Chains A and B, each alone.
Chain A
Amino acid sequence: MIASVLLQGTDGLRAQAEIFNEIFSVFLGLGTLIGVIVVSYMLWNAYKYRDDGSEPKESFDPPVLGELPTGKGGPKAKKLFLSFGLSAIVVISLVVYAYGLLLVVEQGPDAPGVESADMEVDVVGYQFGWEFQYPNGVTTQNTLYVPEDSAIELRVTSRDVWHTFGVTDLRIKSDAIPGDYSETWFTTDGEDLASGEERTHQIECFELCGSGHSYMTGEIVVMDDQDFNTWYDEQAAALENESDGSGAATNGTDSGNGMENATNAMTAQGVEA
């Protein structure tokens, strides 16, 4: 369900969800396999060598009370090093493999050879909600509107305590730390939306931030290109009217930081439709 929506990627850019799903299945498969082997081996030996009351074999040489421990060498020690060597190979391969895909996630739309980000949005967490600041100065609360078929970069921060911005079905997450900007990105590719159609993703807070933590949710709304552009321009116009007019810093969707955000916003790069 998630996969069908998100797996295609934009122009060579693999969605984080796709990369996550790949690594997760590799780790889960390998982990389950190793876990099952080790646990079965352990249970089987525990059963096989249980004390069933029979006479002990001659080779059985239990430790005696008060002896200085010597440990045990021989074939068992060889087996120990063999198993250790095998697990080292598995672990080192996993590190190398995971590192390769980490680079893809870290670079995201900044990587060479993929299309660069279509829009950058600042995300500001606060007790208890999310504010989104668009390049043209428009701000929204708790709902992030984005156009379809684009790569979106988010710069996440907080204006009070430590929050964590996360969208489970897009498999993206970023800490929102006061005084600091951390970045993440996602793509909105998928089945084409008709005009008026929307696709939504749930935003949640993943770091305990106070009494309202459980309710600190929001939505990402993916819109049809045309719809988004119309909405975006309307918001910008409304913002302009208000700053030309009374100077009262409110607009259709914002709660009062419009003016400030308009001046603070990053250099507008527009939305490439």
Chain B
Amino acid sequence: MSELPPKTSLRRWFVTTNHKDVGILYTITALFFLIMGGMLALLIRFQLWEPGAQFLSEIAYNEAVTTHGLVMVFWFLSPFGFGFANYFVPLQIGADDLAFPRLNALSYWMYALSGILLGISYFQGGTLSTGWTMYAPLNVPMYTPSLGSTGAILALAMFVIGITASTINFLTTIHHSRAEGMGLMDMPLFTWSILATVYMMLFAFAALLAVALILLSDRILGSIYFSATEGGALLWGHLFWFFGHPEVYIVFFPALGVMLELFQSFSGNRLVGRKWVIIAICLISIQSFLVWTHHMFLTTINLEVKTLMMATSIGISLPFDLVVFSLIYTLIKGRIKFTTPFLFAFGALLLFIVGGITGVFLGAIVLDYEFRGTYWVVAHFHYVMFGGATALFGGIYYWFPKMSGKMYDEFLGKVHFVIFFIGFNAVYFSMFLAWETPRRVFEYDPAFQPMHQFGTIGAVVLGLSFFIMFYNFAKSYVSGPDAPDNPWEYTRTAEWAVSSPPPLENWGGRPSYASGKLEFVSEALTPSDDHDGPAAATDGGHGEGHGDDHIESYPYWDKHASHASIWPFALSLATGIFFFGLSGVSSSIDITTADTLFGTGITVSNPVYPVFTALGLLGIIWTAVKWGLEDFYAPPMEIAERWPFEGVEKVKLGMWFFLASDVIVFGAFISAAVFIRVAAGWYTWEPLTDSLPGLINTFVLLTSSFTVILALVYARRKSRKGLIAYLSATILLGLTFLSIKMWEWHHEIYDVGVTLTQNSHGDPVQATIYYVTTGLHGLHVVIGLLIAGFLLVRAWNGAYQEDPRPVEYFGLYWHFVDIVWVILFPLFYLF
């Protein structure tokens, strides 16, 4: 643990784990990516000035289209919303910080550095040029061979890792750290929309992670999932859109939350039908996972499924209707103040209505058949997603006084809105008028040229309007008037009850809503008998993760929460280096196969990438160990509302959320295996391997599940010897599993002739699926063994006697890995 340096120190911004600092970092970084994505958008618009490749070459145009989409969807929209979520969700629910502050900083650095990887990919022989949807098989090296294509996908994978960490963090925080008296239904609607967003993210981004891992396996290891004609291309479509449709709501919901807040704050009315709006938001979150094939209506999906998805797709407009009407009715009989934030929120609703209505068109299959791949789609999703982001700009004006402590210039803000709104409609409404133009082409029908030129002019206007905002904020930050605590008259939420900007630990006393309104309770915390208190009855938690086993030496009432750690940045940097290395490793190493393992020749043609890979991997292990050993104290709230997870300790709850997302990752891999096998003809495949080694391995892993339980039992009995013995037994069993696995692979490769891309029994893709799926499981076993080794060394030194919980958390992970094997075994060895 180190002290947090002052805000003027550059060092602070690398070590801070405070949610407000991280929120500011997210916001500024997201605005940087807005500029980057905006520049790419202008390149596209300039190309469209006249039909034909006037300005960019064919491939450069495709790269601009691709990275514009990726940057705006991933590196701008979500992180911009999550800048506010970081800053204001803890404030709105009365928490001191997020549940896992270091994990939060890690999410940010993974995000920021993944963006740099994406930038680097441009200089690795050209970046990805497949469109942001990355359809297979255009996304495999045969069609997009550049290292930068791999680099861009690695950047996306790294971004998703950060997102997953962030998701787990917000879910745990919102379920674990609400102030006394604030039930789930009492949460402000911005926090509600973030809760719905992170639930969708937990499952949707796990699917994206899985599909990115499969694609990376195709690109780096040379497996053949997406080039397989046995459903490879359709598999991409299904997995991508299973993520892709919820993603639309994932980027829209934070903006919706801002709209819901601002309509109340600037009309002076409470939300109409508040309960029903929350129900609608929950319904949309669930339904978003049941509409994905409307992106694939023109494929060979059968009519029954298409019809069902048409009904769910058009039907999802209903809960949205309710939310829109609720927003409009909230204005009635209010005293509406047309400040800059409200103008943006109001404008966002207008744009969203246009986007929503044109979206219903796309839900009707017959219309979608024609709109597919045209500018109708482009116009529609810009009205929805960028229309939503319009509310986020309202959010930045709304919260700028709180975040910076300065008021912005109202006149310049209004000028920004007017120019923005005109520019926006000029660009995107002209797309509706030119809708017969195919997407992502520059050679279009000259009849549409006036429309496209009008759109280009609109795009320049739209882009320039942001410089008014940047100037406004820069000027106000330097010389604007100080902001009062609550500059808006009718606000309700707790962030306006503290100073602008709020103090490091947010509150003067403990915030409580027990009396029905916000009060700050200034009670002296009593020592550990607080554990028996009603609100935290089953929660004896003090520390964060397995790093904290010194609780006896640090009674919490005289230990301060930590706010600084360099390891989130260091671990992200190491990951970035590792991923950079991976992008070129397959083109730098030539492996000549032979009949035996020892005959295999490895020639390194270019050592740069392999060296980066190795350094990055060592760095990851080293920083992870340092992270685990760091004495970092993030106290759980002693008194908090936790429904429906009252009895679950903080880290355990986080672990459950992580495992839920990992279930989806494996679920996607298993679905991929089943999907391709069905496409190839289920009964045409026999198991590749003997069932005996798999059967033995099943017993080995199940036994290791027992030993890890016994390790926990002995840790609870404070038996160091028992703990060491059973942890060692677990590790030995894990190593046995891996040894049998390696023997099996060796046998398959060198005796039978089944390799990643060759299968003497039948379809080569069967071999790919076998190696990659069991390989992912093997990787989970290896990571489990590394953690177990860390625990063993610490146990040897006497740790976990007082606080055995890290052993329990590891046990949860290990059981999960075992359960996955119980599913993989019949899939690959029996049927």
B325 interface neighbour in A63, A84, A95, A205, Cβ under 8 Å:
A84
A11 within 8 A of B: no
Report whether A77 and B273 are in contact in the complex, using a CB–CB cutoff of 8 Å: yes
- B357-376: CB near A (< 8 Å → 1, else 0) gives 11011001111011011100
A241 within 8 A of B: no
Report whether A87 and B318 are in contact in the complex, using a CB–CB cutoff of 8 Å: yes
Report whether A95 and B311 are in contact in the complex, using a CB–CB cutoff of 8 Å: yes
Task: List A contacts of B365 (CB < 8 A).
Answer: 98, 102, 105
Q: Given known contacts A27-B360, A98-B310, what 5 new A-B pairs fall within 8 Å (CB)?
A: A51-B338, A67-B492, A76-B329, A95-B310, A214-B58
Report whether B366 and A19 are in contact in the complex, using a CB–CB cutoff of 8 Å: yes
Contact flag A27-B58 (CB < 8 Å), given A20-B370, A179-B229: no
**Segment with Cβ contacts to B, from A39-47, A114-122, A223-231:** A39-47
Task: List A contacts of B496 (CB < 8 A).
Answer: 65
Report whether B518 and A71 are in contact in the complex, using a CB–CB cutoff of 8 Å: no
Task: List B contacts of A145 (CB < 8 A).
Answer: none
B267 within 8 A of A: yes
A35 within 8 A of B: yes
**Segment with Cβ contacts to A, from B115-123, B435-443, B616-624, B651-659:** B435-443
Report whether A68 and B439 are in contact in the complex, using a CB–CB cutoff of 8 Å: no
Report whether B59 and A71 are in contact in the complex, using a CB–CB cutoff of 8 Å: no
Report whether B310 and A173 are in contact in the complex, using a CB–CB cutoff of 8 Å: no
Within 8 A of B (CB), among A62-118: 62-73, 76-77, 79-81, 83-84, 87-88, 91, 94-95, 98-99, 101-102, 105-106
**Segment with Cβ contacts to B, from A164-172, A187-195, A260-268:** A164-172
What is the CA–CA distance of A37 and B409 in the complex, to the nearest angstrom? 34
Expressed in whole angstroms, the minimum distance between the Cβ of A36 and any Cβ of chain B is 10
A35 closest partner in B (C-beta): B357
A57 closest partner in B (C-beta): B333
Nearest 7 pairs of A and B residues by beta carbon: A71-B274, A206-B373, A179-B229, A66-B518, A62-B268, A98-B364, A214-B441
What is the CA–CA distance of A134 and B564 in the complex, to the nearest angstrom? 71
Expressed in whole angstroms, the minimum distance between the Cβ of A80 and any Cβ of chain B is 5
Report whether B314 and A94 are in contact in the complex, using a CB–CB cutoff of 8 Å: yes
What is the CA–CA distance of A204 and B442 in the complex, to the nearest angstrom? 12
Task: List A contacts of B135 (CB < 8 A).
Answer: 161-162, 207-208
Expressed in whole angstroms, the minimum distance between the Cβ of B249 and any Cβ of chain A is 18
What is the CA–CA distance of A181 and B276 in the complex, to the nearest angstrom? 45
Contact flag A80-B364 (CB < 8 Å), given A62-B268, A71-B274, A182-B300: no
Residue with the greatest number of chain B CB neighbours at <10 A, chosen from A57, A102, A105, A172: A102
Task: List B contacts of A233 (CB < 8 A).
Answer: none
Report whether A71 and B331 are in contact in the complex, using a CB–CB cutoff of 8 Å: no
Of the A-B pairs whose beta carbons lie under 8 Å apart in the complex, a sample of 8, sorted by A's number, is: A69-B270, A98-B310, A160-B143, A162-B136, A166-B373, A179-B230, A208-B135, A208-B138
Report whether A27 and B299 are in contact in the complex, using a CB–CB cutoff of 8 Å: no
A51 interface neighbour in B232, B264, B336, Cβ under 8 Å:
B336
Query: Interface size class for chain A?
Result: 35 or more
Report whether B322 and A84 are in contact in the complex, using a CB–CB cutoff of 8 Å: yes
A269 within 8 A of B: no
Expressed in whole angstroms, the minimum distance between the Cβ of B266 and any Cβ of chain A is 9
Report whether B366 and A182 are in contact in the complex, using a CB–CB cutoff of 8 Å: no
Query: Interface size class for chain B?
Result: 35 or more
Task: List A contacts of B231 (CB < 8 A).
Answer: 179-180
A177 interface neighbour in B233, B361, B441, Cβ under 8 Å:
B233
What is the CA–CA distance of A137 and B436 in the complex, to the nearest angstrom? 34
Report whether B357 and A31 are in contact in the complex, using a CB–CB cutoff of 8 Å: yes
**Segment with Cβ contacts to A, from B13-21, B27-35, B167-175, B345-353:** B345-353
Report whether B372 and A164 are in contact in the complex, using a CB–CB cutoff of 8 Å: yes
Report whether B267 and A42 are in contact in the complex, using a CB–CB cutoff of 8 Å: no
Expressed in whole angstroms, the minimum distance between the Cβ of B812 and any Cβ of chain A is 35
B328 interface neighbour in A23, A42, A178, Cβ under 8 Å:
A42
A99 interface neighbour in B129, B307, B519, Cβ under 8 Å:
B307
Task: List A contacts of B349 (CB < 8 A).
Answer: 42
What is the CA–CA distance of A49 and B346 in the complex, to the nearest angstrom? 14
B65 within 8 A of A: yes
What is the CA–CA distance of A172 and B373 in the complex, to the nearest angstrom? 12
B270 interface neighbour in A70, A95, A210, Cβ under 8 Å:
A70
B317 within 8 A of A: yes
Report whether B325 and A23 are in contact in the complex, using a CB–CB cutoff of 8 Å: no
A72 interface neighbour in B272, B354, B374, Cβ under 8 Å:
B272
Residue with the greatest number of chain A CB neighbours at <10 A, chosen from B65, B270, B315, B496: B270
Within 8 A of A (CB), among B315-333: 315, 317-318, 321-322, 324-326, 328-333
**Segment with Cβ contacts to A, from B181-189, B468-476, B630-638:** B181-189
B222 within 8 A of A: no
Expressed in whole angstroms, the minimum distance between the Cβ of A175 and any Cβ of chain B is 4
B794 within 8 A of A: no
B271 interface neighbour in A31, A72, A177, Cβ under 8 Å:
A72
What is the CA–CA distance of A214 and B299 in the complex, to the nearest angstrom? 21
Task: List B contacts of A180 (CB < 8 A).
Answer: 231, 233-234, 299-300
Interface residues of A, dominant DSSP: mixed
**Which residues of A are at the interface with B, using a C-beta cutoff of 8 A?**
16, 19-20, 23-24, 27-28, 31, 34-35, 38-39, 41-42, 45-46, 49-51, 56-57, 59-60, 62-73, 76-77, 79-81, 83-84, 87-88, 91, 94-95, 98-99, 101-102, 105-106, 127, 160-162, 164, 166, 168, 171-175, 177-182, 204-215, 217
A204 closest partner in B (C-beta): B438
Expressed in whole angstroms, the minimum distance between the Cβ of B310 and any Cβ of chain A is 7
B491 closest partner in A (C-beta): A65
Expressed in whole angstroms, the minimum distance between the Cβ of A85 and any Cβ of chain B is 10
B86 within 8 A of A: no
What is the CA–CA distance of A66 and B486 in the complex, to the nearest angstrom? 12
Task: List A contacts of B441 (CB < 8 A).
Answer: 204, 213-214
B527 within 8 A of A: no
What is the CA–CA distance of A210 and B654 in the complex, to the nearest angstrom? 42
B335 within 8 A of A: yes
Report whether A69 and B274 are in contact in the complex, using a CB–CB cutoff of 8 Å: yes
What is the CA–CA distance of A175 and B300 in the complex, to the nearest angstrom? 8
A63 interface neighbour in B350, B353, B492, Cβ under 8 Å:
B492
Report whether B440 and A102 are in contact in the complex, using a CB–CB cutoff of 8 Å: no
A175 closest partner in B (C-beta): B298
Report whether B65 and A208 are in contact in the complex, using a CB–CB cutoff of 8 Å: yes
What is the CA–CA distance of A59 and B333 in the complex, to the nearest angstrom? 9
What is the CA–CA distance of A35 and B355 in the complex, to the nearest angstrom? 10
A162 interface neighbour in B137, B346, B370, Cβ under 8 Å:
B137
What is the CA–CA distance of A28 and B360 in the complex, to the nearest angstrom? 10
B298 interface neighbour in A35, A45, A174, Cβ under 8 Å:
A174
Report whether A27 and B329 are in contact in the complex, using a CB–CB cutoff of 8 Å: no
Report whether B336 and A105 are in contact in the complex, using a CB–CB cutoff of 8 Å: no
A217 closest partner in B (C-beta): B443
Task: List A contacts of B492 (CB < 8 A).
Answer: 63-67, 69
Report whether B516 and A68 are in contact in the complex, using a CB–CB cutoff of 8 Å: yes
B823 within 8 A of A: no
Report whether A98 and B270 are in contact in the complex, using a CB–CB cutoff of 8 Å: no
Report whether B438 and A70 are in contact in the complex, using a CB–CB cutoff of 8 Å: no
B62 within 8 A of A: yes
Task: List B contacts of A205 (CB < 8 A).
Answer: 438
B346 interface neighbour in A46, A56, A172, A181, Cβ under 8 Å:
A46
Task: List A contacts of B366 (CB < 8 A).
Answer: 19-20, 23, 98, 101-102, 105
B53 within 8 A of A: yes
Task: List B contacts of A66 (CB < 8 A).
Answer: 492, 494, 497, 517-519
Contact flag A76-B268 (CB < 8 Å), given A70-B274, A84-B318: no
What is the CA–CA distance of A206 and B303 in the complex, to the nearest angstrom? 22
